[in-house]
Amino acid sequence: MKIRIIGQKSLGIVLEKLCWPFFFLGIALTAALPWILDYYGRIFWEDLGTDYPRILAVLYPSALMALSTIWQLRKILQNVNRGNPFSLENARRVRWISISCLVVGILFLAGIVPSLLAPLLGFAFLFLAALALVLSELVKQAALFKEENDLTI
């Protein structure tokens, strides 16, 4: 049995639909961040003290960037599933994802979060930002070639 990747009744449709629960779960987790951090802090630290607001100052913008990324991915998947993967709109969306990853990477590299894992996450997100930036340019070039090709008779 061959699985369709894009189009009707495909993996792309499933992923597009899955963006909704992830988006709403992300909203719920973002709203619950103070309680989640408090619980996490009691398990792994005796007292978060002054680190608590600093960690929230990193996690809230990171969560908003994640929600924005899920939203952009859903819109990209909609275009892909409708047969329009190479569009300037998709290129802008991938560029926005790159900016979101850049923001998260910088936040985690700023040293605000007292964790050895934070710099690793920061570098990972900077790598993803660069990768997404290259992909946005790739989609942009493909869209321009497609436009030019569509005009050729």
Q: Note the pLDDT of residue 82.
A: 93
Looking up tokens 């792309």 gives: 12
Q: Note the pLDDT of residue 153.
A: 61
pTM for this model (two decimals): 0.90
Q: Which residues contact 112 (CB under 8 A, 6 or more apart)?
A: 54, 55, 57, 58, 118
> Domain locations in the chain?
11-151
The average pLDDT across 76-89 equals: 94
* pLDDT tens figures, 21-69: 999 999 999 999 999 998 887 887 777 777 888 889 999 999 999 999 9
**Sign of the four-CA dihedral 96, 99, 105, 111:** negative
Residue 32 backbone phi and psi in degrees, to 5: -90, 5
Q: Note the pLDDT of residue 20.
A: 98
* pLDDT tens figures, 97-152: 999 999 999 999 997 777 888 899 999 999 999 999 999 999 999 999 998 888 87
